Amino acid sequence: MTLTDDTRVRPALREPLRRALNWMLSLRDAGGAIVCPDHGVEHSGKSAGAIVLALELMRAGEPDRETLKAGAVEQGRRLVGNLINEPNSPCYTFRPGRHDPFNCSNSVIDGGACSDALSELVQVLGPELDSADREAFRHASLLHARTYLRYAILDKGIPAQRAWGLTGLANAQVLESDELLERAALEAVGILEGIQHGDGSYPYHPLEWGAAHPGAGDVSSFYQSRVTAFLLFALERLGRDPTDPIFRTPLMRGLDFLLGLQGPDGVKIGLVEAKPWYWGAEYEVASHPFDVAALCFGHEHFRRAELATAARHSFEAWARHLSPSGRPTSHKPGPGRGDSYQCPLFWAAHASWAARALSQLELAYRAPEAPPKLGSGIDIAVRAYEDAQLVRLEDDAVVAWVRGARPAWNLHHGSPHGAGLLQVVRKADGRALLERRRHAAAQEAEWSCRAGKRDWKRGWRAGADELRFSFWLSRVHARAGRVGQALAAPSTIWRHGVAGFASPVGSSSFASRAAIELLPDGVVVRAPLGFRGGEAIEGSEVERRYRIDGEGLEVRERLIGEGAARDVSYHRPSAAREVADSGSGLSYRLG
C-alpha cells in the first residue's frame, strides 16, 4: 500500500525500528559482519533482517537514504559471500545455517530470510545498484530457491520453518518467473493450511511431522503469527489474492486465534506455549513484529477494524520493551524472571517484519477505532478455541484466559500451565492480577497437594533428554560470557526437569486431562489434580467456575474429591476481593 507525500509514515513509528537497526549495525566488525555478542557468530539469516529494515525505512521516508542504502548493500554482499555449495549435493545454502551450532538456526530459516532479502534489494534499489551487485544478488536469491528452498518448504517438520522458507522462495520467483518454484510454493501453502487446526491455531511441531515429545505438538503464542504473516506475504509475491475464498478462511482463522491471544495491553498470553524453555518469563514480546505484520497485512486485505487496533497495541508493547540503545528485550525484569534463550540480535532482525508493514501500520493509526463491542457495563464476550482448549473471557473490566486439556509436557516442551485460569489482566491499567512464577508448584489461583512418594522413574522419563541438553545450554552461556549460568545449567535442569517432575507435589495446573463446559457468561473446568508432566492423581477432582459480569471475573472453586492427594490447599490471589471460604470451596472476584 502506497502513502502520499503528506501521509508518510510518522517518525514515532520509524524511530524504534531505526533504533533497532542502528544497534544491529553497531555490532559490525572490520569486514562488515554483524557479529552476535552472545553467540560470537555472524547470523546470516539475521543480517538479512538488517537489509530489509534498511530498505523499508528508506521506503517509509527516513531522511538519510544513502546511509541506509550503503548498509543494505554491504550486508547483501556478505550474504552472497556466505552462499556455499553443500558438499556432495546440488544444494546451495547460506552459511553458517546448521553448520555452526552457535548460529542457533537452520538452513531453511536462514535461507528463506537471505533469498527474500536479496530479492528485495534488487526490487527496491534496481538500477541504483552496481550491475555486478545486482546480478550477484539476483543470482544468489534464485540459486538458493531453486536448489534448496523448493524442497525444504515441503519436508521440514515445523510449520513456521516451512513458512519462512516459503517467503524466500516466493520473493525469489518475483525476479524471474519459474513454474517449478511457483508450483512448490502453492503446494506448500496448501500443506500449511492443511496442518492448521479448525480454531485457527497451529501446532508448533506436529506429531505426524516428527515431533519427539507430545508437548512440542502444543500450540504456541510465540509462533502463531509467523505462519499467517508469511502466508500473506508469500501469496502477494505469488500474485494470488488472499481474499480469494480458497485462502481467506484459513488466513482469517489464524488472525482470529492471534486476536484471542492478545491482552488489552497488547501483550499475548504467554502460558500457551509449546516451547517455554525459550523464555525467561511468563510472557514475551519478541514475536510482536510478526504479530504486527500479520495484523497489518490482514487489515489491508480484510478491512476488519479490530485488526488495525490490535496491530497498534502490539507495536506499542514491543516498543515499550526496546532499550534506549535499540537492543530489544523479550520481557521486563521481575520476580522469578531471568534471561531468555534467544539472543537480542535475533529479535532485532525480526523487527524487519514490523518494518515491512510500516505503511499499513501508519494507515492503521489513521483508521477509526474498532466499534466497541463492550462499554455498556454489562456486555461480555466469551470466545472458545476448541482445538487449543482455550477460552477467552472479556468484559469492561478484565480479559481472562482459561485453558482445559493440553498435551503432556516436560521442562522444555509444552505449556506448563493449564486445566484452569491462566491469567487475568485488568483493562484500566494493564495489570496482570495473578502472579505466575516459573517452576513454582504453589501458584496463585491454584490448588496444590502432595501424593505418594518421590518417583524417580517419572522424573527420569520427563527429564533425561533435557539433562543432556543442559550441557549445550552451558556452552551457549559460556560463549556469551555468562560463566555463572554456564556452571549452573546442569544442576538447574536436574532440579527442575528431573527432581521437579519426580516430586510428590501436585497442582491443579499440572493436569493435562480436563473437561470444559461453556456458559453464556463463562466456563466451567473439571479436572483432576496432577503431577508435573500431566499425570493425574488418582481419585482427585476439582470443579472450577469462571464467570464475567461486566465488572470483572467471578471465581468459584470446589474440591470434589481428594482421592490419593493429601495436604490439599488453595492459594488465593493477593488481588482477590469479596472472598468467601467454606473449607472445601471458595469464591472471590478479580477486577
Could you tell me the three cell numbers for 218? Answer: 502444543
**pLDDT of res. 571:** 96
Q: Are 173 and 225 in the same domain?
A: yes
The SS3 assignment for 268 reads strand
Domain check: are 141 and 214 in the same one?
A: yes
Residue among 263, 305, 271 nearest 288 (CA):
263
pLDDT at 1: 45
Instruction: Supply the pLDDT for residue 376.
Output: 46
What is the Cβ-side half-sphere exposure of residue 123, based on CA atoms within 13 angstroms? Answer: 19
Average pLDDT value over all residues in the chain = 95
Which pLDDT score is estimated for 369?
A: 72
**Residue 379 covered by a domain:** no
Same structural domain for residues 269 and 314?
yes
Whether residue 442 has pLDDT greater than 70: yes
Asked if 473 and 354 sit in the same domain, the reply is no
6: confidence class by pLDDT, cuts 50, 70, 90: very low
- Give per-residue pLDDT as tens, 313-345: 999 999 999 999 999 999 999 988 999 999 999
Strand order in the sheet with 390-394: 381-385, 390-394, 398-403, 420-426
- pLDDT over 60 (residue 4): no
Q: CA 21: distance to chain centroid? A: 21
Q: Which three cell numbers stand for residue 441?
A: 508448584
- Characterize the bridge pairing of strands 505-507 and 522-527: unpaired
Residues 6+ apart with CB under 8 A from 21: 50, 53, 54, 57, 71, 326, 348, 351
Nearest to 448 by CA among 296, 566, 308: 566
Q: Is the pLDDT of residue 5 over 50?
A: no
> Would you say 89 and 21 are in contact if contact means Cβ atoms under 8 Å apart?
no
Burial (0-12, 13-18, 19+ Cβ within 10 Å), 304: middle
> Are both 119 and 248 inside the same structural domain?
yes
> Using an 8 Å Cβ cutoff, are 209 and 160 in contact?
no
378 — pLDDT class (breaks 50, 70, 90): low
Q: What string of DSSP letters covers 228-267? A: HHHHHHHHHHTT--TTSHHHHHHHHHHHHHHHHHB-TTS-
- The answer to whether residue 25 sits within a structural domain is yes
Q: What is the pLDDT of residue 374?
A: 55
Query: Of 415, 444, 418, whose CA–CA distance to 529 is shortest?
Result: 418
Query: In a 10 Å sphere around its CB, with 0-12 CB exposed, 13-18 middle and 19+ buried, how is residue 26 labelled?
Result: exposed
DSSP string of 426-451, one letter each residue: ETTT--B-S---TT-SS-TTEEEEE-
Question: In terms of domains, do 301 and 273 share one?
Answer: yes
Terminal-to-terminal C-alpha distance of the chain: 41
Q: How far is CA 242 from the centre of its chain?
A: 23
My answer on whether 321 and 418 are in the same domain is no
139 and 285 in one domain?
A: yes
Residue pLDDT, tens place only, 32-60: 999 999 999 999 999 999 999 999 999 99
Q: Considering 464, 480, 503, which residue would you say is the last residue of a domain?
A: 503
For residue 384, being part of any structural domain is answered with: no
Strand partners, 84: 93
- Check whether the bond before 96 is cis (ω within 30° of 0): yes
Q: Are residues 171 and 84 in the same domain?
A: yes
Determine which helix (DSSP H) or strand (DSSP E) holds 264, and give its type and residue range: none
- Judge whether 137 lies within some domain: yes
The answer to whether 473 and 496 have CB atoms below 8 angstroms apart is no
Q: Phi/psi at 521 (nearest 5 deg)?
A: -125, 15
In 10 A of CB 325, how many CB atoms? Answer: 12
Here the cell at position 253 is 482463522
**pLDDT tens, position by position, 448-481:** 999 999 999 999 999 999 999 999 999 988 988 8
Residues with Cβ < 8 Å from 282, sequence gap 6 or more? Answer: 270, 271, 337, 423, 436, 437, 438
Please check whether residues 220 and 309 belong to one and the same domain: yes
Q: What average pLDDT does this structure show over 91-98?
A: 96
CA–CA distance, 26 with 34 (Å, rounded to integer): 8
pLDDT digits 0-9 by tens, 196-236: 999 999 999 999 999 999 999 999 999 999 999 999 999 99
Domain count across the chain: 3
Please report whether residue 58 resides in a domain: yes
Summarize the confidence of residues 21-39 as an average pLDDT: 97
Using one digit for the tens of pLDDT, what is the confidence trace for 507-516?
A: 999 999 999 9
Question: Collapsing DSSP states into helix, strand and coil, what is residue 557?
Answer: strand
Do residues 345 and 472 both lie within one domain?
Answer: no
Confidence (pLDDT) at 335: 87
Q: Is the pLDDT score of 375 beyond 90?
A: no
Whether 306 and 436 map to the same domain: the answer is no
Q: Per-residue confidence at 367, pLDDT binned at 50, 70, 90? A: confident
Q: How far apart are CA 515 and CA 147, in angstroms?
A: 48
Domain of 251: which CATH number? 1.50.10.20
Distance from C-alpha of 256 to C-alpha of 532, rounded to nearest angstrom: 31
The answer to whether 540 and 474 have CB atoms below 8 angstroms apart is: no
* Sole residue written with cell 523479550: 330
Residue 166 domain-assigned? Answer: yes
pLDDT at 572: 96
Which pLDDT score, from 0 to 100, does residue 480 have?
A: 85
Nearest residue to 161 (alpha-carbon basis) of 95, 83, 226, 254: 226
The domain of 95 spans 5-366
Separation between Cα atoms, residue 302 and residue 488, nearest integer Å: 50
pLDDT band at 373 (very low <50, low <70, confident <90, very high): low
Cα(19)–Cα(39) distance, rounded to whole angstroms? 21
Considering 333, 351, 366, which residue would you say is the last residue of a domain?
366
**Contact at 8 Å (CB) between 537 and 527?**
no
